[in-house]
Structure 1
Amino acid sequence: MEFIVDTVNLEEIKDAVDHMPIVGVTSNPSIVKQTNPENFFEHMRKIREIIGMERSLHVQVISKNSDEMVAEAHRILKEIDDQVYIKVPVSYEGMKAIKTLKAEGVKVTATAVYDLMQAYMALAANVDYIAPYVNRIGNLGADPMDLISNLSDRIAVDGYNTKIVAASFKGVQQVRDSFNFGAHAITAPVAVLKQIFANPNIEKAVDDFNKDWYAMYGENVGICEL
């Protein structure tokens, strides 16, 4: 089970890595636009400095032509580092680029997945991650959890090492369901992950515990003051 954050905001990434068991960072052109860094590659290198080499960094190509996608992937790997996962949309041209990059030994995250057959194509190409768009699939009237469940079963039956990284979330319930239906990882905005801890009962429980403690040992006498 992997928690990944979908942001390039440096402060958000620092905060998330400090507080939660975050194992990676994903991005796409729309996510980058929210932060609008002046120097894209320098910004992505700063993210790598924050997360270290032990966490994954996923960066997306923008071209629609396979040869240009591959060229962009090579530039990304040169400018950031050779451990970056290249995000490639699972289009017809994207599949050609995926095959080329995997033949070169590049780590690939197949993205913009809306359909199970799209996912199967990416799976057969031995990508490292497949990213179904949970909320967007639901908005189109399909069941994203059915896709995740079937894909998870196929990965297990055929023995692939590919991981499902569910993406596109509006709330915690979608994150929970994705894991429960077989996703190996999720990538979500930091704000969505913080909602996990927004239950007022958590704060009430801590306040009740503190009240009982201070009733015994005196106000402002914590464990370190004993």
Structure 2
Amino acid sequence: MKFFIDTANLNEIREAHELGVLDGVTTNPSLMAKEGIKGKNNVFAHYKAICDITDGDVSAEVIATDFEGIIREGEELVTIDEKIVVKVPLIKDGIKAIKYFSKNGIRTNCTLCFSPGQALLAAKAGANYISPFIGRLDDVSTDGLELISQIVQIYDNYGFETEVLAASVRHPMHIIQCAEIGADVATCPLSVITSLLNHPLTDIGLQKFLADHKKLNG
């Protein structure tokens, strides 16, 4: 499974990269706003800074919701760096744009997926990634992990190459369960990734080893 970090914070991206497990970055307008990045030039410069840190794909989201606008923004975004993947909302004009991008060698991440039917359309249009939002489904008493399972099954049935990118990941068990189901990627905050390190028996065992070493060596 690939680990993407879902943030626009450069320090967090650097920390994940230094940990040695970072495969890519996902962003969205809300995350850029959280970092106080305003204006097209500043946004593009920030995307470039992210690309300079990570070796993997960086999802950059369009703001437009009409076909022509999505195409225009997407074609501009990919000029930033070869690592840029255009993040497109799962709407009618978004699917049309994904088909256009696919034919023209521009990679895409189809976002805001909440049903297997939507995921099927995105794959048929040629999306490189599909982003089901499992946490947001859980928030409305729907099983987000079941959606991941359904999409993985459908894609396996027909040999679609679209990668299943589990998004809106809220806690470490989401990551483990997505890995068990067969999601290709999990994108989440740094805190969720680092929480995979934690186990009380690891802490207890290390404390014992260090205590025993101190007894023997003074």
TM-score by length of 1: 0.90
Uncovered stretches (5+) of structure 2, i.e. residues with no partner: none
For 2:33 and 2:201, locate their aligned partners in 1 and report how far apart those are by CA, in whole Å.
36
1:46 to 37, 46, 49: 49
Q: CA deviation at 1:169?
A: 1.9
Please give the alpha-carbon distance, in whole angstroms, between the structure 1 residues aligned to 2:83 and 2:174.
Answer: 29
* Matched AA of 1:96: K
Output the CA distance in 2 between the equivalents of 1:217 and 1:66.
70
Moved more, 198-207 or 33-42: 198-207
Secondary structure in 2 matching 1:155: helix
The question of whether the paired residues in 2 share the 8 Å contact of 1:127 and 1:162 is answered with yes
Q: How does 1:11-30 map to 2 (within 5 A)?
A: 11-30=11-30
Report the TM-score, using the length of structure 2 for normalisation. 0.93
The one-character-per-residue Cα deviations of 1:74-127 (angstroms, maximum 9, x if unpaired) are 11112x113311110111111111111111111111110011100010011121
State the number of aligned residues.
Answer: 215
CA distance, structure 2, for counterparts of residue 42 and residue 131 of structure 1: 25
Quick one: which amino acid aligns to residue 100 of structure 2? T
Q: Counterpart of 1:44 in structure 2: which amino acid? A: Y
Extract structure 1 runs of 4+ deviating beyond 6 A. none
TM superposition shift of 1:165: 0.5
Q: Tell me, yes or no, if the aligned pair for 1:64 and 1:94 is still in contact at 8 Å.
A: yes
Secondary structure of the structure 1 residue equivalent to 2:24: strand
**Residues 137 and 143, structure 1, Cα contact 8 Å, conserved in 2:** yes
Residue correspondence of structure 1 range 141-160 to structure 2 within 5 A? 141-160=141-160
Q: Does the CA contact (< 8 Å) of 1:3 and 1:24 recur in 2?
A: yes
- Does 1:68 find its partner at 2:69? yes
Report the Cα offset of residue 43 of structure 1.
1.1
Counterpart Cα distance in 2 of 1:7 and 1:182: 23
- 1:44-193 equivalence runs, <5 A: 44-51=47-54, 54-78=55-79, 80-193=80-193
* Deviation for aligned residue 1:155: 1.6
| 1:20-46 C-alpha deviation (Å, 9 max, x unpaired) | 411000000111111122511111111
User: 2:202 corresponds to which letter in structure 1?
Assistant: I
* Kept in 2: contact 1:166–1:183 (CA 8 A): yes
Q: Distance in 1 between matches of 2:67 and 2:74?
A: 10
- Alpha-carbon offset, residue 214 of structure 1: 2.2
| Structure 1, unpaired ranges of 5+ | 219-226
- For residue 222 of structure 1, what is the aligned residue in structure 2? none
Counterpart CA distance in 1 for 2:167 and 2:51 is: 21
Q: What is the identity percentage for the equivalent residue pairs of Structure 1 and Structure 2?
A: 28
Q: Which SS does the other structure have where 2:194 is aligned?
A: helix
d(CA) in 2 for partners of 1:211, 1:97: 61
- Measured after TM superposition, the shift of residue 142 of structure 1 is 2.1
CA-based RMSD: 1.4
